[in-house]
Structure formats: C-alpha cells, structure tokens
Amino acid sequence: MSSIELLTNKEYKYGFVTDIESDVIPKGLSEDTIRLIVEKKNEPDWMLEFRLKAYRHWLKMQEPKHWPNITYPEINYQDVIYYSAPKQKATKASLDEVDPELLRTFEKLGIPLSEQKQLAGVAVDAVFDSVSVATTYKEKLKKHGVIFCSFTEAIREYPELVKQYLGSVVPTNDNYFAALNSAVFSDGSFCFIPKGVRCPMELSTYFRINNAESGQFERTLIIAEEGAYVSYLEGCTAPKFDRNQLHAAVVELVALDDAEIKYSTVQNWYAGDETGKGGIYNFVTKRGACRGRNSKISWTQVETGSAITWKYPSCILQGDNSIGEFYSVALTNHAQQADTGTKMIHIGRNTRSTIISKGISAGKSNNSYRGLVKVLAGAAGARNYTQCDSLLIGSKCGANTFPYIEVMNNTARVEHEATTSRISEDQLFYLMQRGISQEDAVSLIINGFCKDVFRELPMEFAVEAQRLLGMKLEGSVG
C-alpha cells in the first residue's frame, strides 16, 4: 500500500515557473485599467468602447454564487493583475526570434514552436499569461485562405471580421464572468475558415498561466463560413501556486450553412493540492452558434484540472437541420469541484443534439453535471438524446446531475438517461486476477467508461487524455 500512497502524491509535472521578465500592470480593476490595457495593446477606439460597455455591465451584475454546486471564498477582483506579458520584440520576423526561455517553456510542455521542431499537422497559437507569443504555420494556412492568428493581430489586421462577430454569440452582458472577460481580455486566438475550405490541418491553442498573481482572460473566436470545416484543439496548464488564480475565458463559434466546427479541449490547469490549497478557478463561457442550415458544432472536453470548473459549452441551433454535440469527461479528485455541462437551444426545424457526459469523482471531490435542453416553439421535429453517467471512486466524493428540459414544441423528442456506478472491489479483483496491476486495472475501467467521449477526440489527444486520466487517478483506489 505504501507504493500507492507514494503515487497519490505524484507531482503535477507542469507545475514549474518560467523565470522571465514581464511587463506587468498594477493590480486592480477600473476604467483606467481598461484604458491602460487598450493603450498597451494599441487598440482602436471601438475596442475601448466594447470593453467599457462590458465593464459597466459587469459593475451592475452579481457573481453567480448561488446556483452552481460549488463553494469558494470571496474573490477580490481588485487583487488580480489583469495584464502580464513577457517582454519581447513586438513584431517577429520568424518564430526563432521568440525569447528562447519561452520556446523552452513550451517545449517542456510538449509544444515545440521553433521552425524545425513544429508538430506536423497541427498549427499552434501559444498564449503565455496575457498574450499570444507565437503562432505556427500561419503562412501555410494563409495560402488556403485560412486566417489563424492571435486576437491582437486579428483586431489590427482584420477589424471588419472581428467587429462583425465579436460578442455576437456571447454578448458582453451575457453573464458575470463573460462581462469581466469582455472588459479585460488581453489576447487569445482568432480563426477564420472561408467559404468552401476544409482547413488542411488541426488548429490549436495552448494556454499557459505563469504569473502567480495574474488572471488569464482570453478570447477565442472561430468562424466557419459556408461549407467550411475546422477541427480545433486547446490545452491548458499552469504552475503550482498556493494562491488561487482566476481564469475567465470566452469562446465564440459561428458556423454558417453546411459548415462544421469540431472543438476539443483537454483542460489540465493546476488543481490545487490534496487539501484544496491553490489551483485555478476556471470560469469559462463557451458557446457556438449554428447559424446556417445543416451546420454542425461539436464540443468535446476532457476536464481534469482546476480547483473549480464552471463551464457549459453550448450550442444555439438556429439553422434548420443543424446539429449540436457535447461530449464530456469531467474528472475530479482530492478537493476539486466541477459544475459543468451544456446548453442545447433548439430554434430551427429538425435540429438535433446529442449530449454524452461522463463524470468521474474520486477523493473528497464534488462533480456535478448541469445541462439545459430547450426546444423553442418553432423547432418542429427537434431531437435530443442525453446520457449522463457518473462513476464514483471511494466513498467520500459526490456526483450530482441537474438536467433542465424545456420543450415548447410537441413534435420534439427528448431523451434523457442517467446512471451512477462505483468501481467495485470485485471489478478490480477480476482484472488483477488476470495479471493486470491495480493501476492498469483502474485506468482500463476508467477508459472503458469514457470510451464514447474519447473516440470523438483526435487521435493524439485521445492518447494524451487516457494517459492524463490514469495519472490523475493513480493511488485513488486501494
């Protein structure tokens, strides 16, 4: 048993801090902070207006403390740094001009950025604290008409596109954390796939929070025009700090007629220690609009990190025959808390949605699925299938399911299935009796449980996700 205890305390291997000189603004949030960010980023007036409008909404809004099944101490929004950027040359002729320390950091995280070592088949935008530090394969993608760049660059180079779509899926006053993000977001990724183009490679963004006192507020906007297709991946890690850090992101997806966006996340923010000290507060708003007929948006998420996860990647199924999908694995261990799920809003006719949610709770953690399926009056023939499964490991954790169903059209068909199970001693014994070690047995059971979600992930991500779950759960049984 002692070896199992040793494994429980296994280090979070992404917990290192990069020693780099940064341009940091003072803590605190006010209209002046926003003006300072705009000034730092040299943004146009319309961005300042967008931000100030969001900020003024935010001041009047209430933090959603009551309905989610999570508890945390008061967040002091004046004690957060809203902008922290590693000092480097503003424009770089090539990726090799990126600060070597940053290149080393991302390489350590498994994301090589330099020209010779780039990952084949995947373009990466690397975001470090408040700014994007490098984007690979930009030129190659441009040849296909695909725009993939940092948000800062998008505002500068493609202002009309940004103006047209920014805030069109998640309005500035949508919710408390989205309003906060809209006011202070400092960078993120922008993807535009023009009409009829199938993006020739996977696009991805890797988010890294480094500064102990800064929050990360990034924004992702993906637009797939008529008939376009893109598969996008995001990954996230942060160093181990004793204090909690705030991460409030907004992701907006827009799919026009016959377009498809596949969005996959493997979230591994620092989760805090076993007692619940430290870790990321992950308050994220992700929403996709299936604006066009026959469009499709598919969310796949593997949530393993963060002290608190509050996120509900959703689909607005506006176009007739459009499809929304949500595949989720949320794992909580030790003192982690997750309240996550989705919203499927059926507006168009014959719209379809599928929700597959797999919650795994271990340690003293608390894991809730919260989902809304809403069928509006005009959504004749709408269909939804929801399956929520919870797996408990040990006896001190909790799992909850909060499904909300609102149907206003009587031709709609909505199905909901839910199960709760526990890894049993007999299941483990059976596998071990065949010569499989306890750890491998646990990971076999977990991977079997998550299979329906993992098969939606791109191959390399699926392998990474399986490995990650195994690592997160080592020693939690026995």
**Where does this chain bind other proteins (CB under 8 A)?**
424-427, 429-438, 440-441, 444-445, 447-452
Distance from chain centroid for Cα 409: 32
- Phi and psi at 397, nearest 5°, equal -100, 170
For 272, counting Cβ atoms within 10 Å of its Cβ (0-12 exposed, 13-18 middle, 19+ buried), the class is buried
CB of 426: closest distance to other proteins in angstroms? 5
List C-alpha distances in Å: 270 to 208, 229, 359: 11, 32, 19
What is the smallest separation between the CB atom of 453 and other proteins, expressed in angstroms? 10
- CA-based nearest residue to 265, from 471, 461, 466, 130: 461
- Which of residues 29 and 450 has its CB atom nearest to other proteins in the complex? 450
Q: How far is the CB of 292 from other proteins (least distance, A)?
A: 35
> Measured from the CB of residue 448, what is the shortest distance to other proteins in angstroms?
3
How far is 65 from 218, CA to CA, in rounded Å? 22
CA atoms within 13 A on the CB side of 437: 8
Q: Which residues contact 97 (CB under 8 A, 6 or more apart)?
A: 89
> Alpha-carbon distance 202 to 461, whole Å?
11
Return the axis-axis angle of helices 31-41 and 45-60, rounded to nearest 10°: 150
Compare residues 241 and 449 and give the one whose CB is closer to other proteins.
449
If the CB atoms of residues 164 and 437 are measured against other proteins, the closer one turns out to be 437
Do the strands 22-24 and 84-86 form a parallel or antiparallel pair, or are they unpaired? antiparallel
Closer of 3 and 164 to other proteins (Cβ):
3
* Token reading at 460: 């390399």
Kindly state the DSSP code that residue 79 receives in the 8-state scheme: G
Nearest-approach distance from CB 358 to other proteins, in angstroms:
10
Nearer to other proteins, 411 or 421 (CB): 421
Tokens 């949610």 locate to: 357
Report in angstroms how near the CB of residue 439 gets to other proteins at its nearest.
10
Residues facing 150 on adjacent strands: 189
SS3 107: helix
Question: 109 vs 444, which CB is nearer to other proteins?
Answer: 444
**Closer residue to other proteins in complex, CB, 24/477:** 477
Question: In terms of CB distance, is 242 or 417 closer to other proteins?
Answer: 417
Per-residue tokens: 219: 């924004």
What is the closest distance, in whole angstroms, from the C-beta atom of residue 201 to other proteins in the complex? 28
- Tell me the sheet residues that pair with 287: 252, 314
- C-alpha–C-alpha distance, residues 203 and 313, integer Å: 19
Q: Cβ 455 to other proteins, closest distance in Å?
A: 10
